[in-house]
């Protein structure tokens, strides 16, 4: 059994090679073993590469777990400090209001008691005068009556009672109304702003302040610039990555990428390694006849030629087609033609929380090409797509 029939994939003897297996593709068992040994080594190399990739992915995921835990612990600690300060501030304001009310109460009560004491003294004086007048009225001697009357009939000036203004339970109603108004405003703020504390994917955006306005100048956009690199594990096999994985070129030569479940198998596309949330801005320089720039969710399909894999042809990606003469925007296979100045540089602005995605033609000035207003439910990834040989695109270094 020193021969091997490749046609029937079985070991045979020399006689069978000229009889039962005549005309088949036969080689020596040693030669077939050598060929299969070479394939085995290639398979082992691929497996070892996949093991390294998986171990690297596991390490990255562990780092992400640690980063998420540290970020969550810090967020809890910071938020507790902020709420403690807020509670302390409210308690301080409550104490101040209480002290002011008690101080005003003391002033008002002192004023009222002082007036009350004067009135009580006047009542006592009037009662005494009334008794004297009563006694004088019973005097039988006319001359004695007339003699005593002038001194007895004189009355002192009455106490001014015009300041007496009885307002039952209304002395401090203005304070109560002011505190009630403050409570209502705080409730409105908490109700309206609480929606700004939201979880997006695995990242949390804590935004207690009013959202900032959208940038207008390139200098303002650059404040949100992100350095983006491409993920080789997602690259189509005919895309050559270079410049530290910031540049992609569509070639006719297949690249020696290892097998990976994240790789696009038919569509000539590649995604960024970095996930994008919050406010981000990046620019891409491109050369060629046509180029496509996109953002997509990580769970976009990778295997096959269906629209579920192509940027802009499903509900998991948004794409702008750029050519030397025109633009077009695609989402969920719906095409929107766009007019704008041609440029070899395209800028992309993302405000993930606000659901804003904008594309700009960048030259000496920035021209808005298309703006999307939607709701993003997952972190996004920057994407590049190619349709013609020789086209290149590179993420620019903006810092």
Which of the given ranges, 34-38, 84-88, 243-247, has the highest pLDDT on average? 243-247
C-alpha span between 146 and 140 (Å, rounded): 11
Positions of E strands within the chain: 3-5, 10-12, 26-28, 197-200, 203-206, 239-242, 247-250, 269-271, 279-287, 290-297, 317-323, 327-331, 334-338, 345-351, 356-362, 366-373, 380-385, 392-395
Q: How confident is the model at residue 207 (pLDDT cuts 50, 70, 90)?
A: very low
Residue 184 has pLDDT above 90, yes or no: no
Q: How far, CA to CA in Å, does 278 sit from each of 72, 206, 353, 370?
A: 17, 10, 6, 20
pLDDT band at 194 (very low <50, low <70, confident <90, very high): low
* Average of per-residue pLDDT values in the chain: 86
């Amino acid at each position: 059994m020193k021969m091997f029939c490749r046609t029937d994939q079985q070991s045979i003897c020399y006689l069978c090679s000229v009889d039962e297996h005549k005309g088949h593709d036969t080689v020596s068992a040693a030669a077939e073993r050598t060929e299969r040994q070479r394939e085995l080594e290639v398979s082992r190399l691929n497996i070892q590469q996949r093991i390294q990739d998986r171990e690297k992915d596991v390490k990255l995921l562990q780092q992400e777990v640690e980063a998420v835990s540290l970020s969550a612990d810090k967020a809890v600690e910071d938020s507790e400090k902020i709420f403690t300060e807020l509670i302390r501030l409210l308690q301080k304001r409550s104490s101040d209001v209480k002290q002011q009310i008690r101080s005003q109460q003391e002033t008002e009560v002192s004023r009222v008691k002082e007036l009350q004491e004067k009135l009580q003294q006047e009542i006592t004086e009037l009662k005494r005068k009334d008794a004297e007048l009563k006694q004088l009225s019973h005097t039988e001697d006319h001359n004695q009556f007339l003699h005593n009357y002038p001194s007895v009939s004189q009355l002192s000036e009455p106490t001014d009672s015009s300041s007496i203004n009885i307002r039952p339970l209304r002395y401090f109603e203005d304070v109560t109304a002011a505190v009630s108004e403050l409570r209502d405003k705080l409730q409105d703020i908490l109700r309206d702003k609480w929606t700004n504390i939201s979880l997006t994917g695995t990242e949390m955006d804590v935004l207690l302040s009013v959202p900032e306005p959208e940038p207008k100048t390139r200098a303002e956009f650059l404040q949100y610039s992100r350095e983006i690199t491409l993920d080789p594990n997602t690259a189509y096999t005919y895309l050559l990555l270079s410049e530290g994985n910031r540049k992609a070129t569509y070639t006719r030569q297949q690249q020696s990428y290892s097998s990976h479940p994240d790789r696009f198998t038919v569509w000539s596309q590649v995604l960024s390694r970095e996930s994008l949330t919050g406010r981000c801005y990046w620019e891409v320089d491109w050369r060629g006849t046509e180029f496509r720039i996109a953002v997509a969710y990580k769970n976009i399909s990778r295997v096959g030629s269906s629209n579920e894999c192509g940027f802009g042809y499903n509900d998991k990606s948004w794409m702008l087609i750029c050519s030397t003469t025109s633009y077009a925007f695609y989402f969920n296979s719906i095409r929107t033609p766009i007019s704008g100045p041609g440029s070899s540089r395209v800028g992309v602005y993302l405000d993930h929380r606000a659901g804003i995605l904008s594309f700009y033609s960048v030259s000496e000035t920035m021209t808005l090409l298309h703006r999307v207003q939607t709701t993003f439910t997952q972190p996004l990834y920057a994407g590049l797509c190619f349709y013609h040989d020789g086209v290149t695109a590179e993420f620019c270094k903006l810092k």
